[in-house]
Amino acid sequence: MSRKPTKGYFVRGQFVALGSELDLELKRELKGTDSASKTDLKRESAERQDLGEAMLGLRADLTQRLLDQGHVDDALLQALAETRRITNFEGRRRQVQYVGKLMRKLEAEDVEAIRTAITEQHQGSARETKALHLAEHWRERFMAADEAVSDWLSAYPGTDSQQLRALVRQARKDGQPTAAEVSQGLAPRHGRAYRELFQLIRAQLNQAEDEDPTTPA
């Protein structure tokens, strides 16, 4: 009686019988690879949708640059504009999903360009916030101590010293609490000089940064 041939297949010239330990091992490896691929695709899909949502707050100039460079098209920009207009929660959620669908159609280089633009905007915002804090720090120093003016002029000699001293004097004078404010525990109100002092500081800091980004504060 002839023996029934064993069913199987060849892998790199080696016969693998169906149901054998080697067959099961190869299938486990294959399943693991497929699962990893699905996981990667799912993660990439989520990242692209998140990137699409981040584009909702992207500055107009950076968005225009992406359009000019061909990294985004009118369909995506229109979908983003529509998302901004929708206030209904469910409607917005569906629209965001649509934006994600369009994002998944983009090439890798387009996605990278969008990510770069978003990073550029965030870094700019961080620099602006830091500059505002630095200006506020200097103004408070001017209000608190006489030597702050000398320290400032040493660091930023291009400042109009007469204007600076006049603004500091007036800002301090305006900031003196009245008897009523003291009795009621109210903070003193600051006048025009206080605001103009801040503007002078910001302008000088911006000028110094333009001339030399490494200028010490």
Please report the domains of the chain, with CATH numbers, ordered by start residue: 8-106 (no CATH), 125-211 (1.10.60.30)
Cite the DSSP H helix spans in 145-191.
Answer: 147-155, 161-174, 179-184
DSSP 212: -
Q: How confident is the model at residue 52 (pLDDT cuts 50, 70, 90)?
A: very high
Confidence (pLDDT) at 206: 85
**167 C-beta neighbours (distance < 10 Å), count:** 23
Cα 97 from Cα 104, distance rounded (Å): 11
pLDDT at 126 over 90: no
CA angle 195, 197, 198 (to 5 degrees): 65
Confidence (pLDDT) at 124: 80
The percent of residues above 70 in pLDDT, for the chain, comes to: 81
Model's pTM, two decimal places?
A: 0.50
Residues 140-166 have a mean pLDDT of 94
Residues 147-151 have a mean pLDDT of 94
pLDDT at 215 over 50: no
